[in-house]
């Protein structure tokens, strides 16, 4: 078992970073949306 392909490892890291970024973006958007919705309820 030789070391994994650097290109594959780089792709994996890029994919993980992309998913993390997307998750943070979606979470921030949902939080601000919910806050705006609650402010609108008052």
- 3-state class percentages of the chain: helix first, strand second, coil last, to nearest 5: 85, 0, 15
Instruction: With H, G, I as helix, E, B as strand and everything else as coil, classify residue 1.
Output: coil
pLDDT of 1 reads 62
pLDDT of 8 reads 94
Distance CA 32, CA 26 (A): 10
Distance CA 26, CA 2 (A): 38
pLDDT of 38 reads 86
Task: Give me the tens of pLDDT residue by residue for the chain, a chain 42 residues long.
Answer: 678 799 999 999 999 999 999 999 999 999 999 998 888 887
């Amino acid at each position: 078992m030789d070391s994994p392909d650097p290109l594959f490892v780089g792709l994996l890291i890029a994919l993980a970073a992309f998913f993390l970024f997307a998750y943070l973006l979606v979470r921030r958007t949902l939080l601000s949306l919910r806050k705006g919705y609650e402010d609108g309820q008052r």
